[in-house]
Amino acid sequence: MNENLKIIGKISSINGSVIKVKGFSHQSVGDMVNISEELNITGEIIKIIDNIAVIQCYEETLGLKLNAIVTNLQYPLSMELGPGLLNSIYDGIQRPLETIAEITGDFISGGLKINALDRKKKWKFIPTVKKGTVVSRGDIIGYVQEFSLHHEIMVPKGVSGTIIEISEGNFNILDTICSIKNKNKIKNYDQKLLSKWPIRIPRPYHKRLMPDRPLITGTRVFDLLFPVAIGGVVAVPGGFGTGKTVVQHSLAKFADADVIVYIGCGERGNEMADLLNSFPKLVDPKNNRPLMERTIMIANTSNMPVSAREASIFSGITMAEYFRDMGKDVLLLADSTSRWAEALRELSGRLEEMPTEGGYPAYLATRLANFYERAGLIEIVGSPKRIGSITIIGAVSPGGGDFSEPVTTNTKRFVKAFWALDPNLAYARHYPSVNWNNSYSLYDNLAEFWEENIHKGWEEYRKAINYILSREGELENIAKLIGPENLPPDQQLILYTANLIKEGFLIQNGFNDNDRYSSPQKTMKLISLFLKYYNESLSLIRQNVPFFRFKELEVINSIRRARLDVSNDNLDELDLLDLMLSRDLLQIHRQYAELL
């Protein structure tokens, strides 16, 4: 850029992470700026009032001076998109944390400008179209193999015309891989592996489809009771200590998606360390490769700058959309959206805006919608015709565990599944502490897919468990009053079975090798054991067999422990338990058949 054309201004006010700048000759909301020639802090114009730019800084402003020079860079905050994104760890504005560590050591200092993607690394580009092909926005012209993923290279927005040159070879992300004779333009377009996209603008799509396939999470309570569809939106609210982060980690590890974008937004440094530590060692069961190879992490911990925390959610969704546009199923995990909302509140406070409920700005709901509405099952623009998806699972951390606070209530408006975590279950070390009364999923159209492609009986089992758990809820209070022994035997069976289901099915131990991931087959076989126990015992109880006989069954203890003892590749053991259960029940039946 020509030095003389630089648009500069001077700082007229500093208040926390918000500064005001006078003197820009022209400026727009969304422009990136470089603040102070000494400190080189990155910022973004968020408002313009009487020609004064109001800027949020992505770094600590301590040590910044009044009247320091600010340069308007005149482009919006954008993500770099291209090969090299996977297996990366970024801060909230896509600066690679590994590279930062190489430069500034163990602690993060300000003033760094680092490219998100490696400029030197060579990638083997394999074209899938030929010279002479007419292409336009969104068309795939070839791919780069990035780990086990076909990283498709797409024609960017605003380009359409005939390919005049394209070749296979090893390129870095700034090399020209293909020249396109652009219609209506004099200059040819030189396509590179790298592209950019502003984070505040959703990438366009062809059309939205109705999500109808389940996203298999490997967590039994979700897969069976509160399912989420591929392209769906879920909120996971819970007070502290209810296990939100463990749920998010478990989904990141085991959910069945092509790409995982994990946003650690304003959360604990040690938790990120846990993820960063365990992911490279964990293996994706689908291809036996390290899980990190399908993962992009954004780590903007709670002590990192608050504006970058606000941006991190949109940074993440922009990268997710890029992979969606290749026709991939992307799962975006945001932990936690409340921290993001608080960042919004903090900035709004610094801007002296009129607050609404809980101190949050009036545009909280709009911003939440901007984020959640970028999920979905999508038919992509361009050829070949393809379908991609983004599933968002956002953790919510309601203050005081109170679900009526603004972030939780507003989030509820935009999600179709709600996994309410319950401190009382967590106190009893019942994890995942999903409360079956307050949680819901509106993805009830998944039964067909389950029945046809995964396992039969899904709908039926769901109904049966819901019945037992809701009956238990009703009976519990009576049992407390008169003692469970004084209930009729069929009701005692309900209480007993409900406890078995909790202990042996709903609880899932994230630290047990057999239990932390439950394949859909294991989930279904396991639950069928409990339901069989219930149904057959019930029919015998109706024939006047006393209830205590069913409590004494030896096989029950093995069934209760089966989730821990039986691995996913050894489901025959569950069939064996099923046989043993049948045998024991038959034995009771015979004994009493003689008596009666």
Partner 1 sequence: MSLIYKNLTTVKDPLLYLKPIQHHNIKNGSIVRIKTEEGLRTGQVLSVSHEVVVIQVIEGTFGIGVGTDETEITFLDETYLVGVSREMIGRRFNGMGLPIDGGAPILPEEMRRIEGEPINPTRRAYPRDVIQTGISLFDGLNTLIRGQKLPIFTGQGLPHNKLIAQIVNNAKVRTNEPFVTIFCGIGILAESALYFQNKFEERGTTRLISFINLASDPTIERLIVPKIALTTAEFLAFKHDMHVLIILSDMTSYAEALREVSNIKGEIPARKGFPGYMYSDLASIYERAGRIRGKKGSITQIPVVTMPNDDISHPIPDLTGYITEGQIVLSREFHQKGIFPPIYPLASLSRLMKDAIGEGSTREDHSDVASQLYAAYNNFLQIKELESIIGSDSITLVDKKYLKFGELFENYFTNQGETERSFEETLNIAWNILGEIGKGELVRIKKEYIKKYFVEKRSN
Q: Which is nearer to partner 1, 153 or 252 (CB)?
A: 252
Q: How far is the CB of 71 from partner 1 (least distance, A)?
A: 17
> Which of 2, 26, 483, 569 forms a contact with partner 1 (CB under 8 A)?
483
Write each residue from 500 to 539 as x if it is in contact with partner 1 (CB under 8 A), else as -, in one continuous string: ---x-------x----------------------------
Rounded Cα distance, 343 and 128, in Å: 44
Q: Is 37 in the site for partner 1 (CB under 8 A)?
A: no
CA dist list (Å): 94 to 100, 114, 269, 313, 339 = 11, 9, 17, 11, 18
Q: How far is the CB of 127 from partner 1 (least distance, A)?
A: 35
Q: Is 459 in the site for partner 1 (CB under 8 A)?
A: no
DSSP annotation of 437: T
Q: Which is nearer to partner 1, 64 or 377 (CB)?
A: 64
Q: Which residue has the tokens 């790409």?
A: 259
Q: Is 345 in the site for partner 1 (CB under 8 A)?
A: yes
How many residues in the shown chain lie near partner 1 by CB under 8 A?
76
Rounded Cα distance, 250 and 513, in Å: 12
> Which of 6, 150, 196, 268 forms a contact with partner 1 (CB under 8 A)?
268
Q: Which is nearer to partner 1, 198 or 280 (CB)?
A: 280
Region of 141-149, 212-220, 235-243, 324-332 interacting with partner 1 (CB under 8 A): 235-243
Q: Which is nearer to partner 1, 178 or 479 (CB)?
A: 479
Backbone angles phi, psi at 513, to 5 degrees: -60, -40
Q: Which is nearer to partner 1, 186 or 482 (CB)?
A: 482
> Which of 1, 186, 481, 595 forms a contact with partner 1 (CB under 8 A)?
481
Q: In the window 15-34, what residues touch partner 1 (CB under 8 A)?
A: 15-16, 20
> Which of 28, 277, 539, 543 forms a contact with partner 1 (CB under 8 A)?
277
Is residue 324 within 8 A of residue 330, CB to CB? The reply is: yes
Q: In the window 289-308, what residues touch partner 1 (CB under 8 A)?
A: 299, 301-304, 306
> Which of 485, 552, 569, 594 forms a contact with partner 1 (CB under 8 A)?
485
DSSP annotation of 67: T
Region of 25-33, 92-100, 216-224, 448-456 interacting with partner 1 (CB under 8 A): 92-100
CA dist list (Å): 467 to 417, 439, 456, 494, 495 = 20, 15, 19, 9, 12
Q: How far is the CB of 358 from partner 1 (least distance, A)?
A: 6
Q: Is 198 in the site for partner 1 (CB under 8 A)?
A: no
Rounded Cα distance, 536 and 571, in Å: 22
Q: Which is nearer to partner 1, 22 or 181 (CB)?
A: 22
Q: In the window 96-155, what residues touch partner 1 (CB under 8 A)?
A: 97-98, 100-101, 104-109
Q: Which is nearer to partner 1, 16 or 285 (CB)?
A: 16
Sign of CA dihedral 451, 455, 460, 465: negative
Is residue 153 within 8 A of residue 126, CB to CB? The reply is: no
Is residue 468 within 8 A of residue 491, CB to CB? The reply is: no
Beta-ladder partners of 332:
261, 392
Helix/strand/coil (H, E, C) string of 493-515? HHHHHHHHHHHHHHCCCCCCCCC
Furthest-apart CA atoms within the chain: distance in Å: 103
Contacts of 236 (CB under 8 A, 6+ apart): 244, 247, 248, 393, 394, 395, 396, 419, 421
Identify residue 24 by its one-letter amino acid code: F
Q: Is 59 in the site for partner 1 (CB under 8 A)?
A: no
Structure tokens of 368?
Answer: 């939440």
> Which of 183, 286, 429, 456 forms a contact with partner 1 (CB under 8 A)?
429
Q: Is 499 in the site for partner 1 (CB under 8 A)?
A: no
Rounded Cα distance, 255 and 399, in Å: 28
